[in-house]
Amino acid sequence: MDEVLQVFLTFLRLGALSFGGGMANLPEMARVLMANGWVTRQEFADGFALGQFVPGPNMLAVVFYGLAAAGLPGALAALAGMFLPGALGAIWLVKGWQWMARSQWSRALRKALVPIAMGLSASMVLILVQVGVDAVGWLLGVVVAALLIHRGVPVVWVIGGGALLGLLVGLA
Amino acid sequence: MPWFELFLAFLQVGLVAFGGGGNAQLYQALVLKRGWMGEREFLETTALVRVLPGPIFANTAAHLGMRLGGLMGAVLALVGVLAPGSLLMLLLSFAYFRFGAVPGSLAESALDGVAAAAIGLILATMVRQAPVALDSLKAVGLAAGVFVTYGLLHWPLLLVLLVHVPIGVSLYWGEAARPWDGAGLEVPPRG
């Protein structure tokens, strides 16, 4: 039970801090989860990759991490911790949004969060390359995938293509 | 609005929202298909939701559910968009820990390929947003400051935000003086 509570509190903190999209906290999540011994480096990367196969928010990989840390209750605790802070804020925003739209600090905050989110995304790419890309060949794969998506190839195809290519490499 | 209908609408979105296209799917389902809210109302509220922490798609769903059906509507909307993906994720995770967690296995190798593609997706999104997001020296400075402290120096995220958010707000304070004219609204891609 203590373990489950610890999982919940860990993800609650991560969820409350992930400004600029759900994955902004990924670098910190990787560090914290690995330091707690809940997942290995490889498992963290694999959980993130599995998360690409399911519909819904990208951060459903937290289900995987919670399961690894404390079984099924851990999975539920991670899910609740990750999504509750933002959802509660979003519910409150129904009452507060007119005030938010008018107030100067909230407009300044919205503007400031755009470049901050870019910095968070860049950090995210860095940590993902560090934990998830263990062969130089895959680094090329990252660039090719980015190019294809930039050219307008549907994301689902590129992800599927990555899986196929991985299978072929595994067979070779 | 009947709760069952509301739940069904969000559940359908939760079933098909692959690849981070959640907000576009919500737009399709609520504005275009069912006409439950106007276009402008949808865009204004989803733009505001972006200041909140956590996944934008899930937050948007909770917000729209609250608008449409009160607190119960918010809960149903959130469960609707999260349940399909969470259950599938749980099954995949069980399978992984039962069969797939073998270094050098085929599954492992396939996941390496998926991870590379997914990182490519984040990179492509950044490249697309960069011209708009990094449109001034202060924007570049803020982004670089976050990247150096968070990505390279491994500061805790809370500290990174405590330093950069106040700096960012003060840098943009002047620009934010005029009332909001709806700038920054973007129509989600259809389809």
Domain extents in chain B: 134-177
Rounded Cα gap, residues A9 and A14, in angstroms: 9
Q: For residue A66, how many C-alpha atoms fall within 13 Å in the half-sphere facing its CB?
A: 29
Quote the CA–CA distance of A164 and B125 in Å, as a whole number: 23
CB < 8 Å from B in window 16-75 of A: 16-19, 21-25, 27-28, 31, 42-43, 45-61, 63-64, 67-68, 72, 75
Q: What is the pLDDT of residue A74?
A: 96
Spell out a b/e string for B127-146, using b for 16 or more CB atoms within 10 Å of the CB, else e.
eeebeebbeeebbbbbbebb
User: What percentage of chain B carries pLDDT values higher than 70?
Assistant: 88
Structure tokens at B88: 């599938």
Write out the DSSP string of B128-181.
HHHHHHT-SHHHHHHHHHHIIIIIIS---HHHHHHHHHHHHHHHTTTGGGSPP-
User: What is the domain partition of chain A in residue ranges?
Assistant: 2-134
Q: Mean pLDDT score of chain B, rounded to an integer?
A: 84
What would the pLDDT profile of B67-93 be if each residue is shown by its tens digit? 999 999 999 999 999 999 999 999 999
Number of CB pairs, chain A paired with chain B, less than 8 A apart: 397
Run means of pLDDT, 10 residues per run, chain A, 172 residues:
92 87 81 94 90 84 95 95 92 81 81 87 87 78 87 83 87 79
Nearest CA in chain A to B105: A170
Residues found in chain A: 172
Q: What pLDDT does A63 receive?
A: 95
pLDDT of residue B191: 36
pLDDT digits (tens, 9 = 90+) for B132-145: 888 899 999 999 99
pLDDT at A156: 79
What is the distance, to the nearest Å, from the Cα of residue B109 to the centroid of all Cα atoms in its chain?
28
Q: Return the SS3 of A43.
A: helix
Between the alpha carbon of residue B4 and those of residues A105, B12, B73, B76, B156, the distances in Å are 39, 12, 10, 9, 42
Q: What is the share, in percent, of chain B residues with pLDDT greater than 90?
A: 39
Chain mean position to CA B86: 16
Question: What is the model's pLDDT at position A82?
Answer: 93
Token pair of B94, please? 């069980």
ipTM of this complex: 0.84
pTM for this prediction:
0.84
What distance in Å separates the CA atoms of residue B161 and residue A28, rounded to the nearest whole number?
A: 13
Mutate to test the interface with A, among B16, B64, B67, B93 (most CBs of A within 10 A): B93
Are A94 and B122 contacting, i.e. CB atoms less than 8 angstroms apart? no
Average pLDDT of the segment spanning B20-26: 74
* CB B17 within 8 Å of CB B25: yes
Each residue's pLDDT tens digit, B143-162: 999 999 999 999 988 899 89
